Structure 1
């Protein structure tokens, strides 16, 4: 161990108080750097694993592919795990409304679709088949593995279903019936390729081709989707026959936006850590100046002084970083478990699977690379923080150091102005003015943390569970059509197709109205539409919604009108329309005003109705009231469309009867495939849970940021007294009382407090309002109204004031431990 290292260790032991402060700041920085990626990547990995356990794993699928193209695809280097499926026939079910397909799947298709047999094996010969108990029951058959059954079927030909025939099959395997299959009465059996070749002539086979994109690792979801479309186009596959496995792609190939957000947060943490650590070193350097001067006087070089500062700093880091990593890891794991256990991580099915994965230890939340990265970034932060102190220490000359009294170096000699009479206020101002840079650095460090706190508090205070609940449901109970847009695997779930045989009938409405406790029922009508004025990336008209409001809802909508009027006559004659907002208003080019014309392509079952409308009013209403897109009076929309376009029933109940009505409505809607029921109570509870979890997380991070800032204030106050021990001792020798000393220190602390609050509340309020406007425009967390965070700001001011008072008394008590003689003799 050389002399520099020995001196660094000696300084480390000597400057214990300062090193504890620096170590705490470093540990808190390392802790935050560990928490953020642990929570983000832990949640993502859990979701990925849950999706892998629940969903098919193919990237894409092409429908209606002929034999030649299918064979080429199996050898295409752009595709991996390519599998073929052919719906070769359908069983004849004359006495039931069931649909039973006879499907050939090769082994890759079986693997990609997670087809698992309850028992047995896949068919190989033409007379072998895999069935389920539900299928056998529907067909009126009985049997098990090895038994023979006779099945009537119709082969799938080029021009439709062929002539009915019968064949005897041997059961080689059994599958499990899903709840969806039983509810919808839709089943599948598995047959061999030999049977498909037997009943379908060569050249007429049409396949579904499942595949994964080669080299997909590291790509984004959008990039993989583009690859799927490119491959499809190269085989002349129509756009409607190109299907992406969106859920799997989203879960396994996350967009960079999420990582960008995490990186921004980590950069903020690093900057806060660097600023605080640098500030502590900078302020602490003042009481080390004479020491470095003496080392210079006995022959130390600039390089040795830099090494001394560097080694002392990294000795502190070596002790603090591991503590921060362990604390961060523990808190991060607790947060992930809290998110999953409270069902905030995903929907119910996914959440249950994630809970199971955590219980079984299927995913490790301890990731060594995160710990290594956090340790490396923490050390880099310490190094950056030490650069300026190392430079400053190396530049100090021996003569300058011995004469140093803890003030900023003046570039020009100025005549010092004295006072005929001195008082506590003037003494305080004199001390603060002698080292303006230290004062500014301390206030800016604390102020930045305060600004961040006020901004976060503003956003959180604008989140309202009632507003969030209104964005999902209206009334006490909400029944809606459970439709999906763009699901090419299930076109029957499109809103326009469901409305051809709409389950929201007048009969159902009357049944609900007869339930004890129902006050009234509002009907919301709605259709899918496309807007010709705006285009998707591929050139198609932008998809949107067109809703129809009842008279009661229109009256409520009136208070959300921001432009125009709902009394406009054009709304009654069908030439006017209301722009209700959502993503349409924020779309580039959608800066419409009242009086502007828009052209909508309205989906009415299989028909498309083209209409021109004049914008009569613009509103900023909750999603639960208007939906997303454009609005008409319900009577006008019903006149435009031939089909029953009822989309929602909003049920309002008598006071105290919402629970019993909900149970009765649930019994009426259970088992209906395309109906979904929600309640205001459930929506409000979920909103409270979501906001509550966010409050804990954000204020938790702000608490740690605040601790880092407070450490800087503590260090500033301690060092301010430390380097002035001789001056304070002389002042006390000539009559400055202990009470006056405390008052002077309190005034110094109050100056820091006032400066911090002025910067935090002033700049933070302006920045917070700007963030509110952005959040409202982007519809983030249903933020609509501005709420100033009065309570958080008052709490922030109180905490800063209390901390400053405590620090003053702590510093004064430490100061009083030395005798007056020792203080006067300090630095001799």
Structure 2
């Protein structure tokens, strides 16, 4: 045993080149696995901190009656209930504000904002409690005892003005971190139940409830959701009125079957990738030692001892690589992830990082990485071990990698050139060539696939969900079905033509504005059983042109978009395909609509001809039909303004001045939408790019190992070729041609399988809403970068290794074994 240990150590020291690259490859693979595991552990721990310090309710139930709220409070499976109700909207300049009541009726539910910091909660009808920002926005100093006048609208009743006294202050989110206009932020304050009872009897009140159910510490994700759903069913709650706090449940409970299956799949992919890399390294390296193993067998070594020798070599290489990989794999995310999280927290209105930092060390992760690496190294040695044990000592001494039990005659050539010499070496080592290309190809396929998804996570695409075109949007802030104040409804507002020619000309004359487009819509009602038109409710109907058809077809789900057929058949297209049946509609259904053109109603009989995902209107009509129904009514509901990039700030300032003069106008700008989009995208995108870099490094090390092993094991052969006339320049060209085969094979796999897999992952993300992808963006820069890195890297490897070879004389190289 001591002799085998000493021999294994001697072989590791003697085969320095192979040992170094083997150790580096194992170390990098360990680093990748440890980095991923540590990052996941850190993100989970940080997410646990974040969700528990933001809101710890399991679900929210809406549209509860007083009776249902009482049943919920007394339910045996419910441990905490916090009831709330929106009482009134506030009218103050262009402020989006509301008055509400929130109270704990059973146990306690935690929220990061809204916690009492000073004073007390309201009790009398004229008392109010809220965050300092609410009172500052209303022009009042946030101090206990100060009074302010508020005009509010309880439900759909008339506006009322009351004097309130500040009785308490609560904590608030730091919205100053968000680069958004003030009118995009909703401000709220709490009033007393005594005030609500003045306006609404108990039976007319509608409640929401944040709840916690028993079992968080011993039920998994699926079981918790099932228990919550059971509670909702027991109190007769509509399924559509139940919203799970999914993020909290996923983080704070054991994963459910779907989540667990996904995690296992990801772990298997990583383990397979790591295993193939290490297998390739050992296959290429260890197989060259069969001759030496034959000499050992000739000296009396048994099969068991030979196996033990190679296993000890793998173990020693792993023992060198594992500690370094584990330490670096822990330190890189330990230092980098908090920096990323801290940078992102500057733009988050929610919980800051824990005071003691993110807890990232995980003993199960560390032990799991060690186990995976050791098992993978062991499995990668099975083939060389089996090969060495089956060959007799005489055959092993005569063994070359092309040796086979089957005798074959090798075809010769009348003439030799560099290309034939290169192909001869690759063909002589077919298995090594194939294994290297497959392993490198897999890593590059993974690289391109992740790059395609990361590149498709576009901030601009996310921002375009709110602002579909242009640099700015001015939209009408009008109601659809306000019965108390019908003058606020869109059909009445349009009679006054807020987007008249004078306004359009004023906007177009702003220096830097290049174009102004319009969006048009009208209100329509129908005598239909659909929820869209239930109880006289009206819906928005938009329009589209013939030129819009190609764009609309990208999101078509059902039906056909033949513009002429739609015109002839009075075809309607429904804009929310996922809820078509739920809303009571069906394809080819006839609808009798009444369009509201100011104080007139225009009848229209149409047919649902297509459905898809197209935006904020319920239906759309061909422009010609829409214009006939609109007559001379100005149906513009939004302006999309295009500006020169260098004039963006100046244009925004003038548009803010214009919209500030009209309560009906609401301004959206691309810079604000992009800032909002960054919050959700960067947290996913940057860690993915970090993984891409690690994968690229490991792939590159695999190429280095293959070429180094190939060249060093052929020192004698290359020296003989140079002795009979092969020049240094020809040697470099020959080695470059060999390396180019590996590079081209790898790139071919990446550009075919990688691009296909990347697009399939993108489609999955788009259809499920995962990773915020909407439009596929080909990773051109990443692909070009990968190609250049492989080509330049291969050339550099060839150059430096050939230089190293020349440090030895021809005689020394011709006498060398390795």
* Partner in structure 1 of residue 401 of structure 2: 407
Q: 2: CA distance between counterparts of 1:814 and 1:220?
A: 59
Q: 2: CA distance between counterparts of 1:127 and 1:558?
A: 56
Q: 2: CA distance between counterparts of 1:185 and 1:685?
A: 20
Pair 1:437 & 2:439 matched: no
* Partner in structure 2 of residue 165 of structure 1: none
* Partner in structure 2 of residue 357 of structure 1: 353
Give the secondary-structure state (helix, strand or coil) at the position aligned to 1:392. helix
Q: Is the 8 A contact 2:643 2:651 kept in 1?
A: yes
How does 1:588-627 map onto structure 2 within 5 Å? 597-598=588-589, 613-615=607-609
* Partner in structure 2 of residue 153 of structure 1: none
Q: 2: CA distance between counterparts of 1:287 and 1:413?
A: 20
Offset of residue 576 of structure 1: 1.0
Give the secondary-structure state (helix, strand or coil) at the position aligned to 1:300. coil
* Partner in structure 2 of residue 167 of structure 1: none
Q: 2: CA distance between counterparts of 1:273 and 1:29?
A: 6
* Partner in structure 1 of residue 800 of structure 2: 810
Offset of residue 722 of structure 1: 3.3
Task: Give the alignment's TM-score, normalised by structure 2.
Answer: 0.72
* Partner in structure 2 of residue 324 of structure 1: 325
Change (3 A) 1:610 1:26: farther
707-716 or 259-268, larger mean C-alpha shift: 259-268
Q: Is the 8 A contact 1:479 1:650 kept in 2?
A: yes
Change (3 A) 1:484 1:453: farther
Q: Is the 8 A contact 1:33 1:374 kept in 2?
A: yes
Q: 2: CA distance between counterparts of 1:733 and 1:674?
A: 89
The equivalent position to 2:714 in structure 1, one of 699, 724, 730, is: 724
Q: Is the 8 A contact 1:444 1:756 kept in 2?
A: yes
| Unaligned 5+ runs, structure 2 | 148-153, 158-164, 176-181
Offset of residue 364 of structure 1: 3.1
* Partner in structure 1 of residue 162 of structure 2: none
Change (3 A) 1:808 1:684: same
Deviations 1:349-397 (Å, cap 9, x if unpaired)? 7x2435x326x44643455544444444333333332333333344343
Q: 1: CA distance between counterparts of 2:772 and 2:746?
A: 30
Pair 1:304 & 2:301 matched: no
Q: Is the 8 A contact 2:490 2:523 kept in 1?
A: no
Deviations 1:380-421 (Å, cap 9, x if unpaired)? 3333323333333443432222222x2233231123334455
Change (3 A) 1:555 1:711: same
Q: 2: CA distance between counterparts of 1:712 and 1:182?
A: 52
Q: Is the 8 A contact 1:58 1:112 kept in 2?
A: no
Offset of residue 440 of structure 1: 1.6
Q: Is the 8 A contact 1:129 1:191 kept in 2?
A: no
Deviations 1:438-468 (Å, cap 9, x if unpaired)? 1221222233334444555566677777666
Deviations 1:635-692 (Å, cap 9, x if unpaired)? 9679999x99976443456886543342344356579999753213444677799999
* Partner in structure 2 of residue 152 of structure 1: none
Q: CA RMSD in A?
A: 6.1
* Partner in structure 2 of residue 448 of structure 1: 442
Q: 2: CA distance between counterparts of 1:800 and 1:138?
A: 58
Q: Is the 8 A contact 2:57 2:211 kept in 1?
A: no
Q: Is the 8 A contact 2:572 2:606 kept in 1?
A: no
Q: Is the 8 A contact 1:478 1:648 kept in 2?
A: yes
* Partner in structure 2 of residue 632 of structure 1: 621
> How many residues are aligned here?
762
How does 1:3-152 map onto structure 2 within 5 Å? 3-40=3-40, 42-43=42-43, 45-55=45-55, 57-61=57-61, 64=64, 73-74=72-73, 76-82=75-81, 105-106=104-105, 108-109=107-108, 111=110, 116-120=115-119
Q: 2: CA distance between counterparts of 1:101 and 1:600?
A: 39
Change (3 A) 1:775 1:445: same
The equivalent position to 1:476 in structure 2, one of 437, 458, 471, is: 471
Change (3 A) 1:740 1:601: same
Q: 2: CA distance between counterparts of 1:99 and 1:765?
A: 50
Q: 2: CA distance between counterparts of 1:714 and 1:637?
A: 66
Change (3 A) 1:611 1:357: farther
Q: Is the 8 A contact 1:317 1:379 kept in 2?
A: yes
How does 1:444-593 map onto structure 2 within 5 Å? 444-455=438-449, 470-473=464-467, 474-480=469-475, 506=496, 509=499, 513=504, 514=506, 517=510, 520=516, 522-525=518-521, 547-549=541-543, 554=545, 556-558=547-549, 560=551, 562=553, 567-568=563-564, 570-571=566-567, 575-578=570-573, 584=577
Task: Give the alignment's TM-score, normalised by structure 1.
Answer: 0.71
Offset of residue 436 of structure 1: 1.6
Change (3 A) 1:251 1:447: closer
Offset of residue 750 of structure 1: 3.4
Change (3 A) 1:220 1:285: same
Change (3 A) 1:480 1:259: farther
Q: 1: CA distance between counterparts of 2:235 and 2:73?
A: 13
Change (3 A) 1:9 1:506: farther
Q: Is the 8 A contact 2:57 2:109 kept in 1?
A: no
Q: Is the 8 A contact 1:30 1:324 kept in 2?
A: yes
How does 1:763-774 map onto structure 2 within 5 Å? 763-764=753-754
The equivalent position to 1:677 in structure 2, one of 663, 667, 676, is: 667
Offset of residue 190 of structure 1: 5.4
Q: 2: CA distance between counterparts of 1:534 and 1:377?
A: 57
Give the secondary-structure state (helix, strand or coil) at the position aligned to 2:564. coil
Change (3 A) 1:244 1:702: closer
Deviations 1:318-361 (Å, cap 9, x if unpaired)? 23233333434444356645654665x8xx97x2435x326x44
Offset of residue 21 of structure 1: 0.9
* Partner in structure 2 of residue 745 of structure 1: 735
Deviations 1:124-154 (Å, cap 9, x if unpaired)? x999998569999999x99999x9x9xxxxx
Give the secondary-structure state (helix, strand or coil) at the position aligned to 1:568. helix
Q: 2: CA distance between counterparts of 1:403 and 1:107?
A: 84
Change (3 A) 1:725 1:527: farther
Q: Is the 8 A contact 1:500 1:644 kept in 2?
A: no
